[in-house]
Structure 1
């Protein structure tokens, strides 16, 4: 059967506002049926380079003491959680992900938090997970640099990410080797749902996506660009420049250390490069890029790298600016102003 023609994928897109919940329940059902499939999950983790936790049972959406509520919870013989699996399509991370989830895992034995996501979102979400880990575990030196899909947080805790397709195909291979056609077909149905979510160019609109709150938030994002730039000018971090925009974007020119950068509200980069609407774009003068890239090289060495390239616009270097979460308006503004200050201080001043 072609996964695109999956009945489960068709029904989930028509009858459920949250396909992630359908995928979670389907995966929990499949894993509860057979021990060999649970072992296949552990072998998959081992293939990623993660020491496999000693899982003996799975449960779905069980709350932990610190408000973490993983989609799937793998427990060991003592009942302690040793594996959390988060099933994601296009829903954003919650405030508790991934830091509270990692803290809910014991530190005295191998444990893992695994995110399973669409391939189209994997690299972008991995960046966001690493950013949150660096902020959440900054009190210790436990956080190690990322590989392609695994990061270690402390001596025994691991954070990992995988696309749906290789994860489910590894389980399906195990089912076929056991001659278990029922589980293989169930996995194929789930793969159909995930393939549909991964490849659908325009996801069906949901009522909550048309709420006035979303319109208000987009308006506020545009206002934040102005407010951050004006505050940075007042604090003598940059010189005021003109504003402008294009299709669904808005920018203000800010002169930092003698160079005209562009502070952008960019839904395109938000969707394709990193999970933030705010971006600092390099000057339009390409001759300045080499010197600026050398001066700002410490940003490129961060994990994840904080200098990216926009392939849709001359491969221009851009810097994602992540706003502070869960704080007051003025703290959001000042946080991004401080980020501009840090960037300016890395650049040798050019002649006026």
Structure 2
């Protein structure tokens, strides 16, 4: 499922800038509604021979001493702060935040400060967390260990623990615990995933390799090549239509023509970075607006043949993927892409 194909993921960013708070509130709602989910959370952070006390309930935006506002606090049956969850998508770690938050945990038995953040951020975020316990801090962290997909370290000479976990890991563990919460957890997962995708992940050397921009420019060239060839063969027109670069990629407006050269529909041949990132299939798409002289539901059905990537519907658009062959040179790639676009055009002619 694409991350923006859920009600929460669609509405929450439109209604508030505090999306991280909304995610945390949704998590607290699920924990308060489901004892199996609370127990599963306890199991996830109770690694080794020390176990967290049972969690009875959870509250969000808890004001602690010195006015600090904790994202989520889970309390045991005695009302002690047994678990603090700090939701971290891409907001920076505040100076001394991890060290201060440990001080808000209960002192009688194991208590955990759990950071939940995108996994691609774990390496850099954990370094920053650990540095807050270096000299001259009175609190020290023991050795860091990896437990499954979670990073864990215990505070030296105490019963407190710091852990870092990904949203996927957390929500998968809760889903496995209570199937009655599947719908709510799926909504929350989509909302959390949407925040992951909108963020600026830490850069690696390969991200700055010149191959990346060269490949993107090659895709743009391919779009122009298909449009030029189709117009030259007479089944496509570019007359009065323009090419538009944008933040999501590059699109060229085109028209499909019938056998007499009359324009049937207008659409766009699109290098869509968002579709590519969401679906991981291809960078090249035909985007067809819903206000056309053909039935897009029927077109999608006709395109659903073996060997073709499935078309993808949105309220206002039909997206038809153009699959690119591997291991061939530009002319062969152009031939394949043009043939697929013409196949869509031929079906449109049959429907007209």
Taking a change above 3 Å as real, the CA distance of residues 48 and 109 of structure 1, as seen in their structure-2 partners, is: closer
**Structure 1 174/94 Cα, relative in aligned 2: closer, same or farther at 3 Å?**
same
Q: Which residue is equivalent to 2:202?
A: 272
Match of 2:61 in 1: 61
The aligned counterpart of 2:29 is 29
The answer to whether residue 106 in structure 2 is matched with residue 103 in structure 1 is: no
For residues 33 and 77 of structure 2, what CA distance do their matches in structure 1 show? 18
C-alpha separation in 2, matches of 1:161 and 1:49: 19
Q: Could you tell me whether the CA contact under 8 Å between 1:118 and 1:164 is conserved in 2?
A: yes
Between the two proteins, the alignment pairs up a number of residues equal to 204
Label 1:311 to 1:134 Cα distance change in 2 as closer, same or farther (>3 A).
Answer: farther
CA distances 1:39-76 after superposition (whole Å, capped 9, x unpaired): 11111213588632432221111112244422111112
How far apart are 1:123 and its partner, in Å?
1.7
Shift of 1:15: 2.3
Name which one, 1 or 2, has greater alpha-carbon Rg: 2
Alignment of 1:305-324 (within 5 A): 310=205
Are 1:195 and 2:229 counterparts? no
* Structure 2: 5+ residue stretches without partners: 210-352
**Normalising by structure 1, what TM-score?**
0.53
- Matched with 2:92 is 92
SS at match of 2:178: helix
Q: Does 1:150 align with 2:148?
A: no
Local SS of the residue matching 1:30 = helix
Q: Any conservation in 2 of the 1:85–1:116 contact (CA below 8 Å)?
A: yes
Structure 1 segments, 4+ long, off by >6 Å, are: none
Instruction: Indicate the structure whose relative CO is greater, using CA pairs within 8 Å and at least 6 residues apart.
Output: 1
Q: Deviations over 1:214-235 (max 9, x none)?
A: xxxxxxxxxxxxxxxxxxxxxx
SS at match of 1:52: coil
Deviation (angstroms), 1:127: 1.1
CA distance in 2, matches of 1:2, 1:37: 25
Q: Aligned partners of 1:194, 1:81: CA distance in 2, in Å?
A: 25
Aligned alpha-carbon RMSD (Å): 2.5
d(CA) in 2 for partners of 1:201 and 1:68?
25
- Written as runs of structure 1 = structure 2, the 5 A alignment for 1:120-269 is 120-135=120-135, 137=137, 139=138, 142-148=140-146, 149-154=151-156, 155-176=158-179, 180=180, 183-200=181-198
Q: CA deviation at 1:201?
A: 5.9
Q: Could you say if the C-alpha distance between residues 153 and 311 of structure 1 is closer, same or farther in structure 2, counting changes exceeding 3 Å?
A: farther
Q: Retained in 2: the 8 A contact 1:50–1:158?
A: no
Partner Cα distance (1:25, 1:122) in 2: 23
